[in-house]
Amino acid sequence: MLMARSFAAAVLTVLLAGCATAAGAAPRTTPGGYLLYGSDAQVGNAPISVIDAASGHLERTLPVGTPSPDWSRLFAVSYSGTRTTLRAVDTHSGRTLAQISFEGSFGLPFATAGGQTGGLSPNGKWLVVQSVGLANETAFMLLPAAFTQRPRRVTLPGDFSFDAISNDGNRLYLIESLAASQPGHYRVRLYDLAAGELDPRVIIDKREVSSASMTGTRVSGVFAPDGRWQYSLYINQAKGAFIHALNLESAFAWCIDLPPGGMTYQQMMWSLAIDPAGSALFAVNPTLGKVARVDISADGPSSDVSQASSFIPAQASLRSGFFSEADAKGMQLGTSALTRDGQTLIATGDLGTVAIDVAGLKLRRQLLPDPALESVVMSDDGGVLFASSWRGPSLLEVNPTTGARIKVLQTNSALTLYHAEHR
C-alpha cells in the first residue's frame, strides 16, 4: 500500500490524523455556520479536531478512525496487551456511544493510498477490522456497526486485505496478494459469510478472462448511492489509471480504462465523483487536463468511458515563488466533487483547483490556481468550498461557483480537511 499525503475526498471521506486551529481565533459566539473536521498536515496519527469555520475555534477532538456515511459516528480502535478495543464515538459530542473488546491485534483497513481508513459497508450497518502482524494467515472481525452482536472472526491462510462488504453483511470482498509467486499482482476474492467459506472462483472482468490477476495501486473509491456497486480508482504504472467496478450483490467486476498519459505522480491526481442520482461517474485529472464520464445505473456501467474531454491544465510556472513548506507536501492525491446543482465538477490536483462544466466536460474556470493547496472539501449542503493552503498557512472559505473568497483565516499549520457540515 502506497502511503502518501492525500487531498481529502469530498464524496467518500475518511479520517487520518489530528488538527491545528486558527492562530489567535476567538471562541465562537454565534450559532450557525459550518464545522470543519481536519488534521495538522505535518503530524500523522494524531486526534481529529472539529473547528468552527467562522472563528477557527476548536470545539472538540476525536480519535483517528472511520466515519459513518452521515458523519454521526466515528469508529476507532485501541490496544491493551493482546486485546483490541473497538469504539463508536459520537462526532457531535466526542462521547463514546458503545465499545467492544476481543482478543488479538486488529486495525481499521486502509481505504485510500493516503492511508485513510474504511471498513464500513456502503449503508454503514456493517464494520470489518483486519488482523495486524499475523504470519502466514489473515484474520478479520465482522460485526454490526450498532455493536448489537459479538464480532464474528474469519481466518484465512495467506495474505489478504479488506476490499468491501455488502449492505446485508453476507459477502466479504477481499484482495488476495500474490506477492509470493507473482510480485505486484493480486486478485479479488469473495468470502461467503452465509456459507462460511472462501469462494473458489476469482472475481474478474469476463472480458479479461486471459488473466485472473491484477496489478496496480488502489488510490480511492466511491459507492453507488444504493450501495450495490463499489467504484475503485487504480493506478497501474505501465497501463495508467483505471476504474474497477465491483458489484457487491452478485460478485462480478467491470474494468474501465481512463485516458492514458502522464508520469506516475501525475496519474495519482485522478479522482472520482459520482452523481447523487447514480446516473454518472466522473473521473478527472486537473494535472493532466483530462476528464471522463461513465454512464451508470443500478446495473452498473452501461459501457466504458462514454464521454471524454481535455482542457489546458494549470501551468507549472505557478509553482515559482512559493516557500519551502509548499514543496514539503510530498506526493498528493487528487479530489473531486459535484456542486449542489450538479452542473459543475470541482477537482483539485497538485497545481490548483478547477471548475468543469458537467454538460460539455469543458473547463469553466481555474477556480483556485494555487499549487500550495493541501486539501479542499465541499460542505455537506454543497453550498461552500473550503480549502487549506500552505501559503500563510491559511484556511479559505470559497464560493464553489465563482471561486470568490468569502473568508480567510490564518492557521498555525496547513490542514488536511476531511469533512465540512452545516450546523
- Does the pTM of the predicted model rise above 0.95? no
Residue 18 above 80 pLDDT? no
Instruction: Please state the length of the chain.
Output: 423
* Mean pLDDT, residues 264-292 taken together: 94
pLDDT per residue as tens digits for the range 313-327: 765 444 444 434 445
The residue-averaged pLDDT of 102-114 equals 93
HEC string of the chain equals: CCCCCCCCCCCCCCCCCCCCCECCCCCCCCCCCEEEEEEECCCCCCCEEEEECCCCCEEEEECCCEECCCCCEEEEEEEECCEEEEEEEECCCCCEEEEEEEECCEECCECCCCCCECCECCCCCEEEEEECCCCCEEEEEEEECCCCCCCEEEEEECCEEEEEECCCCCEEEEEEECCCCCCCEEEEEEEECCCCEECCCCECCHHHCCCCCEECEEEEEEECCCCCEEEEEEEECCCEEEEEEEECCCCEEEEEECCCCCCHHHHCCCEEEECCCCCEEEEEECCCCEEEEEEEECCEECCCCCEEEECCCCCHHHHCCCCHHHHCCCCCCCEEEECCCCCEEEEEECCEEEEEECCCCEEEEEEECCCCEEEEEEECCCCCEEEEECCCCEEEEECCCCCCEEEEEEECCCEEEEEEEEC
Q: What CATH number was assigned to the domain covering residues 64-371?
A: 2.130.10
Is 90 exceeded by the pLDDT of residue 364? yes
pLDDT of residue 242: 95
At 135, the pLDDT band (50, 70, 90 cuts) reads: confident
Q: How confident is the model at residue 100 (pLDDT cuts 50, 70, 90)?
A: very high
Domains of the chain, residue spans: 64-371
What mean pLDDT comes out for the span 283-307? 94
Range with the poorest average pLDDT among 6-15, 28-37, 265-274, 328-337: 6-15
What is the structure's pLDDT at 325? 44
Say which residues have a Cβ less than 8 Å from residue 320's Cβ, sequence separation at least 6: none
- For the cut 80, the answer to whether the pLDDT of residue 328 exceeds it is no
pLDDT for the residue numbered 94:
96
